[in-house]
Amino acid sequence: MKLEKQNEHHINLNSLINTINELENTLNNYIDTNQISNELIDEILSFQDDDGSFKLINTFEIEKDARIDFCYFPTYLCSCILIKKLLQDDYKQKEIKQSLSKSLEVSTLRNLVGVNSEDSFNNVKLFIKSGVNELFKKYPKINTKFRTLFKRILTTYLHKFLIEEPTNCDLEEFIDEADPSLLLFAYGTLKEGEYNHEAYLNKKPLYVARLDNYAMYNLGCYPGIVRDDNSSIYGEVYEIKYSDLPRLDSLEGNGYLYNRSAVMIKHPNGTKKIAYTYVYANSVEGKEKINFFSSNKDDYVWYACYGSNLSYERFMCYITGKGNTKYNISASEPCKNTNEPKASMEIYIPHRLYFAKNSSRWEDKGVAFLDDTQKGDTIGRAYLITREQYNEIQKKEGSWYRKTIKLGTIDEIDVLTFTNDRILEPNEPSELYLKVISDGLKELGYSISEINDYLVKK
């Protein structure tokens, strides 16, 4: 291969593209065969500019995309070839190290950024496949600025690497050191309140998300999910660290009982996120399918509560009909469907919260209402229940809460709440009532100081 530098005023584009392609093909071939000729190294070393680059045009003062493609990218390619050679044998090691120190310095100028994000990702992959990890271990001081930059950039793309190349051994040291945060989609025994949650997660979920194209099956003591283009499920999303994966893999029998997989989940606000989950690795033939929606989707609503029903335990008293002295609620007729909510999540209600009426249940003090004529920032909790359950709960709340407000939709399911049909005279709530609200807010992950600040403003 003969490397030639072109004048900015007399550019032969086809020749430049051919040189880039030849460098890329050469590097890929050498990565596969692990044999780089001495003649090529001599050509690269002699071609290097005084500024440390291997640019194919005589100046950096050209249009941005051309500067990336024909100045920086060939510098990355030649640097990768030099890295490979340095790790391969003893040929001109001193000269190669000196050359690399300069070219890696140039490589920091653009942060390995390409014309687009995919180019940048591929630039990082080039250095990894060329053995940059081994280079850093063998020659830790060859260019500390590049080493620091590369680790930072790699952390940005780490999630993408973990998904596309989960078995890439070259990444292990970087991953272990960075220990990046990941998202976990939990749908079974790891969910809050289930028997494996405390030992393996022991934290509040970030939110509840939907996973399309998967169905859940009853496997006996635990569920499992498999691909199903006609189904969707909901699960809790947790932030975990990469270092948490070995324990979770062991629990789930990764590789034989379940396969840890990267999936696309849907956040309640509609955005999509990549998360890990565990997909059942065996046949579900003969297993019972758990229908997330036992009937039509229109038969479900998200009930957004903002008062005492923020507490899950108190809310379930309405569903089951059981009394609870702790929450000042008497036994009543249970809902026709006593199943628990299919999901719950924190939700922000854009209306003002206030307290009014004289509730005999709460020491003749006020209880929570919404003023839908004024904007506000009220913390709510949305329960995914049947429309029938919602209507029954509203009826149990009595005549004070006859007005239904539609707050919007989540995943095409109505978000509903209720309040009084008039704006009432304010009345302070009792300490006991505020404690029940506080219990619910704690369940959502709020600290005592955050709860106090929130309630004082109301």
Domains of the chain by residue range: 13-178, 182-290, 297-456
Burial 356-389 (b: 16+ CB within 10 A, else e): bbebeebeebbbbbbbbeeebebbbbbbbbbbeb
Q: What is the pLDDT of residue 79?
A: 95
Q: What is the pLDDT of residue 342?
A: 83
Is the separation of the CB atoms in 114 and 123 below 8 Å? Answer: yes
Which one of 3.40.640.10, 3.20.20.70, 3.10.490.10, 3.10.180.10 gives the CATH number of domain 182-290? 3.10.490.10
Locate tokens 């989707």: which residue?
297
Task: Tell me the CATH architecture of domain 297-456.
Answer: Roll (3.10)
Q: What is the pLDDT of residue 173?
A: 63
Q: What is the pLDDT of residue 42?
A: 94
Q: What is the mean pLDDT of each run of 10 residues along the chain (458 residues)?
A: 89 92 87 80 94 93 90 94 92 94 92 74 86 88 88 74 60 67 93 92 88 93 93 91 92 94 81 89 93 77 95 92 81 90 88 96 95 94 94 94 93 92 95 93 88 89
Q: What is the pLDDT of residue 74?
A: 94
Length of the chain: 458
**Same-fold call for 182-290 versus 297-456:** yes
Q: What is the pLDDT of residue 444?
A: 84
